[in-house]
Structure 1
Amino acid sequence: MSGGDDVGGGDDEMAQVMASLGTRLRAVRQARGLTLAQLAAVTGISVSTLSRLESGRREPGLRHLLPLARAHRLALDELVGSSTGDPRVHPRPFTRHGQTWVPLTRNPNDGLHAYKQILPAPATPRTGSTPRPEQGSHEGHEWLYVLSGRLLLALGDHDLVLTAGQTAEFDTRVPHGIANAGDRPVEWIALYGAQGERMHIRVRPAAGRTHDAP
């Protein structure tokens, strides 16, 4: 019967997850840069138990997985690598600095994260060059890819106009700001390191020349 086949498939999948779980737990811990002792201090699970879990000599239960998931800031299904969870990201757009931000990752406060960003078209047609935007700087690194429109990136003393299909990558400690350099909305994908979206230092706009990116 089809119901029996479904159950059998689920059992096979669960067996595969459990067989590889120790290796995955070790990989997640190492990706976070944690030692067994550090993880033990955060979770309350002993070093010896963590070692046995990672080596596959002990099968983890919820009393182990729940504190591990909290420590790594992962959903339980993400921690165990199960494909039975919902893989979809449910973004909740928000507005900041006149832009619309659409989260593209599950954990915006943990590690590298991505957004789709949208700047609306100017309220009135421009008669001259695009005003230089206010700049800010902060710890981290940013990579962006323009989907449509014209994006002015004021990076340090340089102004770059990026169009669809062009990218930029820069250290966010360099003062930077963005503006819509066209007459319609500009959309781009941005990847940020830790705290990449937080502005810490404000720099007043300065005069500078605008040129198209090569």
Structure 2
Amino acid sequence: MESVSVIPQQRQMALALAELGPRLRTLRRAANLTLQQVALLTGIGISTLSRLEAGKRRPSLDLLVPLAAAFGTPLEDLLGVAQHAGEPPVVHSPQRRSGIAAQRLSHHVGGIQVYRLILPPHQSPAPRRHDGYGWLCVLVGEVELVLSGRNLALGPGDAAEFDTHMPHWFGAAGETPAEVLFLAGGPGERVRLRVRTTGESD
């Protein structure tokens, strides 16, 4: 039997984080953007962006999501997580409903859970409601979000948060799949993100 070399998850993440700074700089230069322009696009302070590129600042989810959207790249590509083209995402807790491929990005039990979802096109809205709170950010493609009968159109970089007690549904709006980052919290667990203004100190 062929042996397979497995890199421990913590070591793999440490390697990905060590390479994040140079990757951010490469993506920014490839997009022909200055630090000031990226700050305007993301709401992240210039000093924070500079420290991220220099590897002097540990990234967090509220920094990575707008950066991935600004550079038009999936979050796992930003982190350098290898994935073969055309293959479905790896799921830590196998779950596939109505053609939706889900990759669980969080590794803790309880609390707010983070998922990367690939939404197939041509899905019929089927709103549902349940306890908790939801937050999503569009990474790739166009998404239709239905909240209490109201239809909202979201594009790359757009985000929405909502009480899941309201009837809700979201899916790909175009002819191609859409990719979103989705955070799900239980009752009383709400995601609160604060956007920094340009030039604001850390």
Kindly name which structure, 1 or 2, has the bigger radius of gyration based on alpha carbons. Answer: 1
TM-score w.r.t. the length of structure 1 is 0.42
TM-score, scaled relative to structure 2: 0.45
